[in-house]
Amino acid sequence: MTSTAGVDSRILKAPHPVPGAPDNWKRFFSFNTDAKVIGIQYIATALFFLLVGGLLAMIMRGELITPEADLVDRTVYNGLYTMHGTIMLFLFIFPVLNGLNNLLIPCMIGAPDMAFPKLNAAAFWMVPVFGVILMASFLVPGGPASSGWWSYPPVSLQNPLGHLINGEALWILAVALSGISSIMGAVNFVTTILRMRAPGMTLGRMPIFCWTALSAQTIQLIGLPALTGGAVMLLFDLAVGTSFYRPEGGGDPVLYQHFFWFYSHPAVYVIILPVFGVFSELFPVYARKPLFGYPFVAGASLVIVGLSLIVWVHHMFPSGVPQWMRDVFMVTTMLIAVPTGIKVFAWLATLWGGKLRLNTAMLFALGGLFNFVFAGVTGIMLATVPVDIHVNNTYFVVGHFHYVIYGAATMGVYAAIYHWFPKFTGHMYYEGLGKLHFLLTFLGTNLNFFPMHPLGLMGMPRRVSSYDPEFAFWNVIASLGAFLLGVSIIPFLLNLVSSWVRGPKSPANPWNAIGLEWLLPSPPPAENFEEHVPTVISGPYGYGTGRPLVEHQDEIERALLKA
């Protein structure tokens, strides 16, 4: 951002300011409709809230380093863990993935922008709005929502001060706004993928990331309305005094659990599917081999979508559901292991016999895969009813969940950020800082989340502000891991900021990768290929085959080199 020299000439005459062009940082604070600007807005906002959510987590781990409730009051602890979960899911992981979607989907399929740019910008700007609403709930009398990110009634309906505006009401409002924003985003992503692909890019030639994004956004479209409906009823129960869930008026508190998990289990696949996409993009690039079994990997995503919608009751095995329901939902849950296994084996086969290049992005992808496999095998344990009955609502689940969301998903997001950083900022990142970030993250993740498994097996319930002394040992280790994770963010942010400001200029294709986005200058101009969209003539990941991806590939690459 310091000089105009070396900036692609198309960027300078682009109708919109674009990332990397000089002196136009103000566009990130405007209602900009360029998907690449919106993508970076999403990611920056999400990283800010990662810091907020992480800070809350570290206070919680500070409380849990000793058995007694001594650092903060119990009410404060309950608010902290509720807000930690809510922030991390609705203000970090969903927005950061939508950021990746915005950056990658149009570039990967050769579209100039998203199908509905204004809707796209509106969907983004709702994020800071509900972020502020959620943060404001710390300031209202009675404090923030403190019934967990599940917000199960009747405990979530207890309103000690009786105010109409209370933490729980603001929480429901924020979650509803988040849902509307996500649905707007999902309509946009699905339409873009279905309608705006480059000539020659059939569905069967689409990069896996787009397949997984399509699958994940389909889940959003089917699942989110159910949660929104459930949340509306919760709000009515809380604010108006209706009896959807209140037992005293004939309501059914377990009904809410069905609505909640009908969306919130598939939501985990909304999170992990794009990360599967990232793995599928990165392993071929850094192993210099084609993705093993592309059609199977793509198809497995669709199978996961179908199955993800019929597993939700596995969160409710101890909720008083009949035995036949437990058996049926256990079987469907187990089945998900099959398409997931197909993907894992495909990645292993891709790596096997490759020529691996272990830069930061690849290390994060490998670390993410390691953690994901661990989360996968504990997931199978959780699927089986008798074991689940024992560890349900204990730290075992918390450990499993964080291995998925932090160990696999967030590390996959880091991998994606490093991999595509040169493409969208036009600058290379610093490998040394990146590897330090990886090392601290990998150690911190395992140190923080592994001890939760023995704790859960021993019977320590989740969401407790104090615990029996026999749990102290593993909790101390987990807390140390959490603080290490806090430290791990420092080299990451340092790397992002310093690389963007003064990192070496990036060529169009620094990793020698195959894909439409690498046939664009770094950073790409506002309308990507504009009217010169190349015609795709082969499938993705043709590493080592010598197969060109598009017509006139040599000319395009020569032009990029000259520029």
Partner 1 sequence: MTISPPLDAPPTPQGHEAAHANHSLTGFIIFLCSESVIFLAFFTGYAVLKLSAVQWLPSGVEGLEWRTPLLYTVVLVSSSGTVALAERCLSKGQLWGFRAFWLLSMAMGAVFLYGQAIEWRSLSFGITSGSFGSCFYLLTGFHGLHVLSGILLMALMLQRSFRPANYAAGEQGVIATSLFWHFVDVIWVMLFLLLYAWS
Partner 2 sequence: MTSTPQRFPLSRLIGLALWLGLLTLLSVWMGAQVPRWLPVSASSAAPLVDGLFGFETAVATFVFVGVVSVMVWVVLFNRAEKYDISDAEPIEGNTTLEIIWTVIPLVLVMGIAAYTIQVNREIGLIGPMDHSHAPASASSAAGASVPGGEVQVIARQWSWEFRYPVAGVSSTELHMPIDRRLGLQLESEDVIHGFFVPAFRLKQQVIPGRSITLFITPTRAGRYRLRDSEYSGTWFAANQADVVVESEEAYQDWLRRASRLPLQPGLSEASREYAQQLSGDRPSGYATIAPAPPPLVNVPGSNTLPHDG
Residues forming contacts to partner 1 in the complex (CB under 8 A) are 15, 33, 112-113, 115-119, 122, 180, 183-184, 186-188, 190-192, 194-196, 221-226, 228-230, 232-233, 236-237, 240-244, 249-252, 255, 258-259, 262, 527, 531
Among 331, 497, 501, 563, the residue binding partner 2 under the rule CB under 8 A is 331
The yes or no reply on residue 510 touching partner 2 (CB under 8 A) is no
Site for partner 2 in 129-168 (CB under 8 A): 141-143, 146-148, 150, 152, 154-155, 158, 160-161
Region near partner 2 per CB under 8 A, out of 17-25, 116-124, 330-338, 528-536: 330-338
Give the DSSP per-residue string, 108-141: HHT-SS-S-HHHHHHHHHHHHHHHHHHHHTTTST
Among 58, 381, 439, 484, the residue binding partner 2 under the rule CB under 8 A is 381
Among 139, 194, 377, 487, the residue binding partner 2 under the rule CB under 8 A is 377
Residue 313: partners with Cβ closer than 8 Å, 6 or more residues away: 258, 261, 321, 325, 326, 328, 329
Residue 400: partners with Cβ closer than 8 Å, 6 or more residues away: 375, 378, 379, 382, 453
Cβ-based nearer residue to partner 2, 90 or 541: 541
| C-alpha distance from residue 340 to each of 94, 303, 304, 337, 347 (Å) | 21, 9, 8, 5, 11
- Produce one character per residue of 279-311: b if its CB has 16 or more CB atoms within 10 Å, e if not: bbbbbbbbbebbbbbbeebbebbebbbebbbbb
Q: Which of 324, 473, 318, 501 is nearest to 394 (CA)?
A: 318
CA 225 to chain centre: 19
Sign of the Cα pseudo-torsion (417, 419, 425, 431, in order) = positive
Tell me the residue type at 226: A
Cβ-based nearer residue to partner 2, 9 or 545: 545
135 binds, among partner 2, partner 1, none (CB under 5 to 8 A by kind): none
404 binds, among partner 2, partner 1, none (CB under 5 to 8 A by kind): none
Sign of the Cα pseudo-torsion (345, 350, 354, 356, in order) = negative
Q: Shortest gap between Cβ of 239 and partner 1 (angstroms)?
A: 11
Site for partner 2 in 298-327 (CB under 8 A): 318-320, 322-323, 326-327
Cβ-based nearer residue to partner 2, 349 or 493: 349
The yes or no reply on residue 85 touching partner 2 (CB under 8 A) is no
Cβ-based nearer residue to partner 2, 79 or 523: 79
Q: How far apart are CA 479 and CA 477, in angstroms?
A: 5
The yes or no reply on residue 558 touching partner 2 (CB under 8 A) is no
Sign of the Cα pseudo-torsion (27, 28, 29, 34, in order) = positive
118 binds, among partner 1, partner 2, none (CB under 5 to 8 A by kind): partner 1
Q: How far apart are CA 24 and CA 16, in angstroms?
A: 10
Site for partner 2 in 12-71 (CB under 8 A): 69
User: DSSP secondary-structure letter at 320?
Assistant: S
Draw the binding track, 177-216, toward partner 2 (x: CB under 8 A; -: no contact).
----------------------------------------
Cβ-based nearer residue to partner 1, 48 or 236: 236
